[in-house]
Structure 1
Amino acid sequence: MEDLSKLRQDIDRIDRQIVELFEERMGVSRQVAEYKIANGKKVLDRARELEKLETLGNLTNDSFNRHGIQELFQQIMAMSRKLQYQLLAEEGVSGNLPFTRIDHIDRKHCRVVYQGVEGAYAHEATLQYFGKDANAFHVPTWRDCMEAIKEGVADYAVLPIENSSAGEVNDIYDLLEEYDNYIVGEQILKINHALLGLPGTSLDEIRTVYSHPQALMQCSVYLDKHSDWQRISLSNTAMAARKVAEDKDRSQVAIGSPAAAGYHGLEVLEMPINHNRFNSTRFIIVTNRKMYEADAKKVSICFELPHTSGSLYNILSHIIYNDLNMCKIESRPIPERNWEYHFFVDFEGNLDDSAVKNAIRGIMEEAVNFKILGNY
């Protein structure tokens, strides 16, 4: 058996050769990029890469090495593409990003739509972002919000996209993919749920609790202590408060905000009743215009992927390779295509940044149905 130190020397020698050959290969990739720039050709040639991987796999002696060499060269080819994307960016060929930079959103002279009624958390987020004198109106559903800005009835919509306790709001992700509307801002709202009832209501009288499903979930620990209370979901916390006020039935209560109690003449019976004391909801500000503020710091994108091994890894590597910090990733099923998904990714950066342009160029070329959801 060979001495371990001798074997390590052999590995070091082979590794040096691999590094030299890698640098030689990247030098040729640079020349390929220069040719493609000069002749207007796309960086990714999927058919050529698959053919090349098959040929390289056939050069190995067993199935283990075949798989390994194909995985290795997938990464080498990905690195070659990233080099080519960088060179394209340096030449000013950064792809079509039809977003207009603005100094700031005019929050005073605009019309805003939110889902629910006055006193809803979306209403509160609207007032925090656009000011207490915001020209705002409400509609029954989130889809109605998207339709309102699509048609120009409103300039902006305020929509909840995730809660720190209950997670993402799936319907909003689906609507972002469906509509040609874009995120231009966000508002984090601290959520302190209150138990709301008719003035003078005691806990012993309560039989039914109304609220939004997420609010019920965020207060589940408290509600579990009152197992005889029936929980009924409504489309909005403030609508639940309004129902209790209109029914004038002391056996009914709502879970909502203290503001909702004020709007609907109810009393705060207990507060806070959410089990996470740091409970917050992130609302996004959406418009039908492709624009972003000059100091925007986060980019949201969505895309589909070929149903092949490593496709998500290869896409995300564009974010990693350009030294960008990914904040979030979500997936949503594609209707009528079982087990295939839309991916939603947030990462830090501004559309003016060269690293962001380079990452987007790579993802745009390699993903399917790519869309920039916004920079904010």
Structure 2
Amino acid sequence: MLKIKESMDIISVKNGGGDVIDLQKCREEIDKIDSQIVELFEQRMKISQNVAEYKINTGKPVLDKTREQQKLDSVEELASTKYNGQAVRELFSQIMSMSRKLQYTMMTYNQAREFHKIKEIPKSKDTRIVYFGTKGSYSEQAMEEYFGTKITSSGAPTFYEVMSKVSSGEADYGVLPIENTTTGGITDIYDLLVEFDNYIVAEHVLKIDQALLSLPGAKLSDIRTVYSHPQGILQSRKFLEQYSNMKAVEYGSTAGCAKKVLEDGDKNQAAIASIRAASTYGLEVLASNINYEEVNSTRFIIITKQCQFCEGSDKMSICFTLPHESGTLYSMLSHIIYNNLNMSKIESRPIPGKKFEYRFFVDFDGCIEEPAVINTLRGIEAEALDIKILGNYIGVDL
């Protein structure tokens, strides 16, 4: 027997035992219970503040895993069914997570204090820049677009050497590619950001148009060996698949490959590089725009060994490692969500010496001075095995 309003909304129905279930009455009872839950939740959070003050005064950490596990086990046992027990456990996991986040707002965060603000990055003849590759490289182009040409610059043949020169103080800033819209993140750069105590202070996005370069007079049918950086080969793989006579060989930077073709003087060789590199080394363009994605852009990072950020910085990059346990990544990312910050990127890299364990690299919006960012960093620092701020800088709209 159904009672139905003129609007056709069902307001009551008999259950299997013959009792009438009234939807409106059920909703009113739920609202009453929810009010009680909110009141009790606020009482619990108020007590959590007292707990935080105690921990601050005694130097105890916010997260006490043993205590939390004992608490979760005990509340799960209070439930009348197995399903409710699992649900209660999940509910209290979230409640305790909220409690920790409140406590983190009352504590200090040391890494954030190490960073100091500058008005802008210097771009004068006294500014020493090292970029990946040699003259004519995309990294050199990105450097000139960002810094201009009135600087002191030099190239380095490897990502490692760029990082090393910045870390040693031989260069003030370094320019490195970190991500491409076609091939994704450049994993070596992420690993080096962990290995070296260098920091991202800016980023620059460059449109990449790959070209096939050869000695003057060479034809497509002459080419047997094509040299390029692995990224250049990947971005142009569909073009290369059309020519069975061409074998791709990885070799340094794209501009370095153009230089090799010139120096070897072999018409059977070609390089995948920029038209800028062709002009630099006097090579001919056999084919242009050979990257298979038309929207092919690379994001470059500007690194320095100084813990600094510019006025107007609105993008954070961090990395952290986690206990190899269920739900730990969710717990880390929940700090970003809780503080209403937008996460724009996440990458993972294997941890050397660990079997199938990973370090996570995360970008999210915000400035290191903002309370929401500080709270996020506090929470992740307390619950991750380790955390490093990779940089705070002005993000580029892609």
Partner of 1:18: 37
1:164 alignment partner, one of 181, 186, 192: 181
Task: Give CA deviations for 1:239-296 in whole Å, capped at 9, x if unaligned.
Answer: 1111111122222111101111111110112211111111110111111111111211
TM-score w.r.t. length of structure 2: 0.89
2:359 aligned with 1:336: no
Q: Secondary structure at the match of 2:324?
A: coil
2:127 alignment partner, one of 102, 110, 113: 110
1:72 alignment partner, one of 78, 81, 91: 91
Partner of 1:314: 331
Task: Return the letter of the residue paired with 1:209.
Answer: V
1:210 positional shift: 1.2
Task: Give CA deviations for 1:23-46 in whole Å, capped at 9, x if unaligned.
Answer: 221222233234334544432222
CA distance in 2, matches of 1:249, 1:271: 20
Task: Return the letter of the residue paired with 2:121.
Answer: I
CA distance in 1, matches of 2:247, 2:111: 54
CA distance in 2, matches of 1:30, 1:297: 30
TM-score w.r.t. length of structure 1: 0.94
8 Å CA contact 2:226–2:270 kept in 1: the answer is yes
2:277 aligned with 1:260: yes
2:61 alignment partner, one of 6, 30, 42: 42
2:327 aligned with 1:304: no
CA distance in 2, matches of 1:38, 1:336: 38
2:300 alignment partner, one of 257, 267, 283: 283
Task: Give CA deviations for 1:155-198 in whole Å, capped at 9, x if unaligned.
Answer: 11111110000000001000101111111111111101111111
Partner of 1:227: 244
Report the more deviating stretch, 16-25 or 356-365.
16-25
8 Å CA contact 1:215–1:237 kept in 2: the answer is yes
8 Å CA contact 1:126–1:134 kept in 2: the answer is no
Task: Return the letter of the residue paired with 1:100.
Answer: H
Partner of 1:189: 206
The unaligned stretches of length 5 or more in structure 1 are none
CA distance in 1, matches of 2:268, 2:319: 46
Give the root-mean-square deviation of aligned CA atoms: 1.7
CA distance in 1, matches of 2:222, 2:58: 78
CA distance in 1, matches of 2:86, 2:144: 57
1:99 positional shift: 0.7
Partner of 2:267: 250
Task: Give CA deviations for 1:83-138 in whole Å, capped at 9, x if unaligned.
Answer: 222244xxxx3444211111111121211112221111111112112212331112
Report the more deviating stretch, 226-235 or 175-184.
226-235
Q: Secondary structure at the match of 2:178?
A: strand
8 Å CA contact 2:117–2:311 kept in 1: the answer is yes
2:141 aligned with 1:128: no
2:196 alignment partner, one of 179, 188, 205: 179
Task: Return the letter of the residue paired with 1:43.
Answer: V
Q: Secondary structure at the match of 1:188?
A: strand
Task: Return the letter of the residue paired with 2:273.
Answer: G
CA distance in 2, matches of 1:182, 1:333: 21
Partner of 2:103: 84
8 Å CA contact 1:298–1:346 kept in 2: the answer is yes
CA distance in 2, matches of 1:265, 1:304: 48
Task: Give CA deviations for 1:44-92 in whole Å, capped at 9, x if unaligned.
Answer: 222221221122222234443332222111111111111222244xxxx
Q: Secondary structure at the match of 2:105?
A: helix
